């Protein structure tokens, strides 16, 4: 009996496995979760942070630190590494040192922050039910008992401040409540205007020290990519110019290492999936389209339902006539709301939502008249219609509209 014929699926998997050996030597180093031990071009930030935190090794309380810089400039990576090193050092010298790292996109209420802090020093708190003051007291007492130096990292701290400025105030004042232990706060943000919006009392205590992460230049991004590429790929897989192109794009996007690394990863995955033997500039260009598309879909998907309804109204309006105005959008929007049983917001609120969509770059809204009915604007979708449709179709309430005839 001969060999069983291979199914298409087998062939796909075979091709994938062959390609893996052809292109990637170690694809993990390109994963968004991988952080190399050495971060090129960040020695000086490493040093700045280490110098401020060093007093912890002698039992002193380091100053609170405010770190800012645009996205993808290594703030999170550097901070985590310095703290891990500091902890290692403290342990080898039998010094009491603890730290908590939290991302305030998820840990965004004073309750969550305190619960996380408690968990990190090993005390259990019930998920809900306790009053904030009670948890605060619990944490304070437990920390004091440990007689330790504690560093709390609040990454994306602007998210926490927006929802609960009080927790930031409480944390930055905590030392005056502690008797044996000491706590330092590191707040990180990529929102360049955040500092101005801070309550002056919090600003002065949070930013006792400041570290600014400047955008990477194209040359620096080149080195960062070259370091990864050397481990990730077999020899001579990358066509000349691929790394340069990925770094140039990252440099244009506010010196963003994440964007450059994403491009290199997606480009090489595209090459692999295609069964190609090299990664070329063409793959990078295609990867750029894929990434941009994904960002648009991500932004649209995360819009609140009312904003999505407005977006749907714009989408449907554009399908019907060449030029649509705020008035047209409102009419369609009201119909949509009736049909899917959403509250109908006032024209003013819908105007605000239209402005928000404009600010996000999803539409353009140009003032055309200031008649009796207030300002009217001409509206255009600036993102591909296909993606808008795709996102609305994945919303179980709004998707129904596409099946209805009466609109």
Ligand X SMILES: Nc1ncnc2c1ncn2[C@@H]1O[C@H](COP(=O)(O)OP(=O)(O)OP(=O)(O)O)[C@@H](O)[C@H]1O
Positions in the binding site for ligand X (CB under 6 A): 32, 35-36, 39-42, 69, 71-77, 190, 224, 257-258, 261
Smallest Cα–Cα separation from 345: which of 382, 371, 308? 308
CA-based angle 75:301:260, to the nearest 5? 35
- Work out whether strand 363-371 and strand 149-155 pair parallel, antiparallel, or are unpaired: unpaired
CB atoms within 10 A of CB 279: 25
135's contact among Mg ion, ligand X, none, with CB below 5 to 8 A by partner kind, is: none
Contact string 51-90 vs Mg ion (x = CB under 5 A): -------------------------x--------------
39's contact among Mg ion, ligand X, none, with CB below 5 to 8 A by partner kind, is: ligand X
Closest separation between CB of residue 159 and ligand X, Å?
11
CB atoms within 10 A of CB 87: 16
Question: Could you tell me if 255 and 225 are in contact, meaning their C-beta atoms sit under 8 angstroms apart?
Answer: no
Question: Could you tell me if 232 and 197 are in contact, meaning their C-beta atoms sit under 8 angstroms apart?
Answer: no
Closest separation between CB of residue 189 and Mg ion, Å?
9
Smallest Cα–Cα separation from 189: which of 166, 209, 159, 216? 159
Can you tell me the distance from the alpha carbon of 161 to that of 199, in angstroms, rounded to the nearest whole number? 10
Closest separation between CB of residue 29 and ligand X, Å?
10
Query: Which is nearer to ligand X, 156 or 209 (by Cβ)?
Result: 156
Query: Which is nearer to ligand X, 220 or 326 (by Cβ)?
Result: 220
35's contact among ligand X, Mg ion, none, with CB below 5 to 8 A by partner kind, is: ligand X
Structure tokens at 82: 């310095």
Closest separation between CB of residue 242 and ligand X, Å?
17
Closest separation between CB of residue 150 and ligand X, Å?
22
The three-state secondary structure class of 59 is coil
Give the alpha-carbon dihedral of 23, 28, 30, 31, to 10 degrees: 130
Contact string 123-162 vs Mg ion (x = CB under 5 A): ----------------------------------------
36's contact among ligand X, Mg ion, none, with CB below 5 to 8 A by partner kind, is: ligand X
Structure tokens at 230: 């050397």
Residue 189 is a binding residue for Mg ion (CB under 5 A): no
Structure tokens at 385: 């219609």
Rg (CA), the chain: 26
Query: Which is nearer to ligand X, 221 or 284 (by Cβ)?
Result: 221
Quote helix, strand, coil % in the chain, to nearest 5: 55, 15, 30
Closest separation between CB of residue 40 and Mg ion, Å?
18
Q: Is 109 left (phi over 0), alpha (psi -120 to 50) or beta?
A: beta
Contact string 16-45 vs Mg ion (x = CB under 5 A): ------------------------------
Question: Binders of Mg ion: how many residues, by CB under 5 A?
Answer: 1
Structure tokens at 288: 């750029």
Q: Is 90 left (phi over 0), alpha (psi -120 to 50) or beta?
A: alpha
Question: Could you tell me if 45 and 53 are in contact, meaning their C-beta atoms sit under 8 angstroms apart?
Answer: no
Can you tell me the distance from the alpha carbon of 77 to that of 153, in angstroms, rounded to the nearest whole number? 12
77's contact among ligand X, Mg ion, none, with CB below 5 to 8 A by partner kind, is: ligand X
Query: Which is nearer to Mg ion, 154 or 314 (by Cβ)?
Result: 154
61's contact among ligand X, Mg ion, none, with CB below 5 to 8 A by partner kind, is: none
Query: Which is nearer to ligand X, 40 or 55 (by Cβ)?
Result: 40
Query: Which is nearer to Mg ion, 79 or 326 (by Cβ)?
Result: 79
Query: Which is nearer to ligand X, 21 or 193 (by Cβ)?
Result: 193
> Which residue's CB comes closest to ligand X?
74
CB atoms within 10 A of CB 359: 10
Closest separation between CB of residue 190 and ligand X, Å?
3
Query: Which is nearer to ligand X, 211 or 329 (by Cβ)?
Result: 211
Query: Which is nearer to Mg ion, 159 or 183 (by Cβ)?
Result: 159
Query: Which is nearer to ligand X, 76 or 387 (by Cβ)?
Result: 76
> Which residue's CB comes closest to Mg ion?
76
Structure tokens at 165: 């400025």
Q: Provide the binding-site residues for Mg ion, judged by CB under 5 A.
A: 76
């Amino acid at each position: 009996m001969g060999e069983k014929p291979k199914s298409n699926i087998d062939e796909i998997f075979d091709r994938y496995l062959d390609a893996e050996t052809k292109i990637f030597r170690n694809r993990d180093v390109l994963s968004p979760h991988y952080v190399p031990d050495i971060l090129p071009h960040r020695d000086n930030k490493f040093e700045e942070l280490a110098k401020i935190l060093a007093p912890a090794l002698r039992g002193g309380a380091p100053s609170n630190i405010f770190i800012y810089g645009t996205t993808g400039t290594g703030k999170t990576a550097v901070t985590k590494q310095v703290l891990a090193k500091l902890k290692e050092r403290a342990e080898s010298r039998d010094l009491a040192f603890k730290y908590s790292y939290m991302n305030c996109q998820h840990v965004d209420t004073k309750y969550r922050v305190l619960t996380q802090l408690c968990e990190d020093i090993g005390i259990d708190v019930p998920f809900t039910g306790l009053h904030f003051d009670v948890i605060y007291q619990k944490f304070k007492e437990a920390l004091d008992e440990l007689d330790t130096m504690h560093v709390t990292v609040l990454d994306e701290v602007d998210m926490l401040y927006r929802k609960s400025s009080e927790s930031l105030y409480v944390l930055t004042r905590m030392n005056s409540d502690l008797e044996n232990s000491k706590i330092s706060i590191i707040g990180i943000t990529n929102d360049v205007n955040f500092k101005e919006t801070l309550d002056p009392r919090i600003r002065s205590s949070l930013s006792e020290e400041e570290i600014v992460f400047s955008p990477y230049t194209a040359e620096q991004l080149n080195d960062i990519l070259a370091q990864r590429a050397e481990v990730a790929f077999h020899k001579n897989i990358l066509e000349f110019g691929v790394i340069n192109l990925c770094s140039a794009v990252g440099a244009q996007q506010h010196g963003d290492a994440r964007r450059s690394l994403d491009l290199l990863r997606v480009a090489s995955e595209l090459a692999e999936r295609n069964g190609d033997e090299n990664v070329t500039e063409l793959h990078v260009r295609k990867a750029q389209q894929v990434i941009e598309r994904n960002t648009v879909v991500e932004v649209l998907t995360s819009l609140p339902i009312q904003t999505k309804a407005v977006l749907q109204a714009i989408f449907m309006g554009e399908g019907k006539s060449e030029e649509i105005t705020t008035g047209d959008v409102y009419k369609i929007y009201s119909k949509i709301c009736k049909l899917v049983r959403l509250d109908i917001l006032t024209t003013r609120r819908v105007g605000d939502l239209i402005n928000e969509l404009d600010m996000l770059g999803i539409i353009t809204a140009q003032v055309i008249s200031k008649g009796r009915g207030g300002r009217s604007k001409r509206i255009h979708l600036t993102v591909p219609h296909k993606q808008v449709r795709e996102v609305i179709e994945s919303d179980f309430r709004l998707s129904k509209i596409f099946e209805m005839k009466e609109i």
